[in-house]
Amino acid sequence: MFTELKDYWNRKSPQAKAIRITVLGSLIMGLWLTAGPKPAVCAPSQESGAPVPAVGSPAMPGSFADLAEKLSPSVVNVKVTRVEKATMQGVPVPDGPFGEFFERRFRDLPQSPRNHQVQGAGSGVIISHDGTLLTNNHVVEDAKEVTVTLADQREFKAQIVGRDPKTDLAVLKIDAGEPLPAATLGNSEQLKVGEWVLAIGNPFGLSHTVTSGIVSAKGRIIGAGPYDDFIQTDASINPGNSGGPLYNMQGELVGINTAIVPNAQGIGFAIPVNTAKPLIPQLVATGEVTRGYLGVNIQPITPELASALQLKDMEGALVADVVPGSPADKAGIKRGDVILAYNNKPVKESRDLPSMVAGTPVGDEAGITVLRDGKESQLSAKIAKLRSEETGSEEPGQAAKGKWGLALQDVVADLPIEPHQVAVDRQTLDAELGIDLPVRRRLLGRGQAWFELGPLGRPCPLGPLPRDQGGLRPAVRVAGGR
């Protein structure tokens, strides 16, 4: 067969000549298409006005290499030395009155030194060319000595300028003898969920480790303190990253890496840089943070409370109690009020209010919008100084479960019922006050068992229900003389 094809190819007939030209033309065209420029690929069509994200933008990062190289010099390794009291060898010393007895009984036994040094490590970020650094309070707390290692491996002894345990922030200072590369503070309020971020730190002592991820959530409350407002990220954060920076794709510092969920993967938390911004000048100037104090205990508004209080939505902070003699008390704020705005800023959730009050300079007059009996009122409070032992909102204590089937707070047995209170039982709730079972179940939630009857006769939760002790019964506070 191949012989026949060869003979046909070599023929000089017009048909054979045409076939040869066609085959050679196809070969040349194929070679040109293979070696020549590639045709452009059409991008998917987008709506008008929606540009395609550029490589390296927050929406579509290309390589992190240039950003990591630029930002790494502003990140430091923080090594601390603490002195801890050693327990007796093999015999732990208990707390309380028996501790001294155990120590006397076993003090002659062979034991390790009474005090020993413990070393720890974390991360930090330079925020000023003069050597001012920002890190976590828990990294340097109780430290006797702090050593900072720069990206070029130079080491310096650091001074603890100021600490704020409530936000877990601390400011350090080193003297490098020359200006140092410093991070640019960004705006964490502008961060969006899904935006790319970069974490740099020293996990497990591995200096200047760079990891990337996205903003998984904002405004997380993890129980770390009264001013929780964390950025959640899936950028890898491990022990040793604490105090290190979280950068956005513009190279701006947007958070301080602080905590992780130990048994999870890709769940880390950072303090927003906007939380640190107003605190840094105070920590540098005085070594501590002075916060404003209003004097109210608040609680969030749940759907059940919104329905019971006849509210349009669940925005605001419900005043559960007012501290006597506090700025709130003097301003006329009462239990059952709903604080809607503070200094013309809306209070979307109850957790917004403590930070707003804390950031108010002591002595300033704060305008407060409250909702009472369906009507808005404008009040003014002169903000006082928050003492160190106060947190701005009272935390619930350990509850005891009584015969009412509720988690109840302990009270003193001889606590009297105030004259304007009446003691009632379950039947009275139904018959005399007209509160049916479904409503009662909603009202008698955790920490919501006292309620007040306002002018409209609606129940308003105020605080925890006393345990049935010493002849006391659940009390319903009645307003308006009923």
Over the stretch 438-453, which tens digit does the pLDDT of each residue have? 444 444 444 444 444 4
Cα–Cα nearest to 335, from 317, 355, 352: 317
User: What confidence category does residue 87 fall into, taking pLDDT thresholds of 50, 70 and 90?
Assistant: low
pLDDT band at 482 (very low <50, low <70, confident <90, very high): very low
In this structure, the number of other CB atoms found within 10 A of the CB of residue 312 comes to 7
Task: Determine whether 430 is an active site residue.
Answer: no
Residue 359's pLDDT is 87
Residue 221 CB-half CA count within 13 A: 8
Q: Per residue in 292-339, pLDDT tens? A: 999 999 998 888 888 887 888 888 999 999 999 999 999 999 999 999
Task: Give Cα 115 distance to the centre of its chain.
Answer: 36
Locate tokens 């000048």: which residue? 281
Instruction: State the Cα–Cα distance between residues 166 and 170, nearest whole angstrom.
Output: 11
Of the candidates 168, 228, 337, 352, the residue annotated as catalytic is 168
Other C-beta atoms closer than 10 Å to the C-beta of 298 total 23
Predicted pLDDT of residue 116: 74
Options 3.30.1300.30, 2.40.10.120, 3.40.960.10, 3.40.50.620; CATH of 67-88+113-289:
2.40.10.120
Render pLDDT for 307-320 as a digit per residue (tens, 0 to 9): 887 888 888 999 99
Note if 138 is an active site residue: yes
Q: How do residues 406-415 score in pLDDT, each as one tens digit?
A: 333 333 333 3
Start-to-end Cα distance in the chain = 115
Annotated catalytic residue, options 123, 216, 236, 242: 242
Residue 49 burial (CB count, 10 A): 5
* Segment 111-153, tens digit of pLDDT: 555 677 888 899 999 999 999 999 999 999 999 999 999 999 9
Q: What is the pTM of this model?
A: 0.65
Q: Which residue has the higher pLDDT, 437 or 187?
A: 187
Single out the residue of 272, 394, 243, 426 nearest to residue 322, CA to CA. Answer: 394
Give pLDDT tens digits for 238-272.
Answer: 999 999 999 999 999 999 999 998 888 889 999 99
- Distance from C-alpha of 393 to C-alpha of 317, rounded to nearest angstrom: 11
Q: Which residues contact 312 (CB under 8 A, 6 or more apart)?
A: none
208 assigned to active site: no
Rounded distance between C-alpha atoms, residue 312 and residue 297, angstroms: 22
Q: What is the pLDDT of residues 196-231, one digit of tens each?
A: 999 999 999 899 999 999 999 998 988 887 788 899
Tell me the three-class secondary structure of the chain, residue by residue.
CHHHHHHHHHCCCHHHHHHHHHHHHHHHHHHHHHHCCCCCCCCCCCCCCCCCCCCCECCECCCCHHHHHHHHHHEEEEEEEEEEECCECCECCCCCCCHHHHHHHHCCCCCCCCEEEEEEEEEEEECCCCCEEEEEHHHHCCCCEEEEECCCCCEEECEEEEEECCCCEEEEECCCCCCCCCCEECCHHHCCCCCEEEEEECHHHCCCEEEEEEEEEEEECCCCCCCCCEEEECCCCCCCCCCCEEEECCCEEEEEEEEECCCCCCCEEEEEHHHHCCHHHHHHHHCCCCCEECCEEEECCCHHHHHHCCCCCCCCEEEEEECCCCHHHHHCCCCCCEEEEECCEECCCCCHHHHHHHCCCCCCEEEEEEEECCEEEEEEEECEECCCCCCCCCCCCCCEECCCCCEEECCCCCCCCCCCEEECCHHHHHHCCCCCHHHHHHHCCCCCCEEEECCCCCEEEEECCECCCCCCCCEEEECCCC
Superfamily of domain 292-385: PDZ domain (2.30.42.10)
Q: State how far the Cα of 190 lies from the Cα of 215, in Å rounded to an integer.
A: 12
| Cα angle: 329, vertex 335, 336; to 5 degrees | 140
Average pLDDT, the chain: 75
pLDDT given at position 399:
36
Looking at the predicted structure, is the pLDDT value of residue 357 above 70? yes
Task: Report pLDDT for 225.
Answer: 78
pLDDT of residue 459: 44
> Does the pLDDT value for residue 55 go beyond 80?
no
User: Is the predicted pLDDT of residue 456 greater than 60, yes or no?
Assistant: no
The more confident residue out of 307 and 94 is 307
Q: Give per-residue pLDDT as tens, 56-86.
A: 455 567 789 999 999 999 999 999 998 776 6
Cα separation, 408 vs 426, whole angstroms: 16
So where are the chain's domains? 67-88+113-289, 292-385, 400-478
Query: CA 430 from chain center: how many Å?
Result: 43
Quick check: do 67-88+113-289 and 292-385 share a fold?
A: no
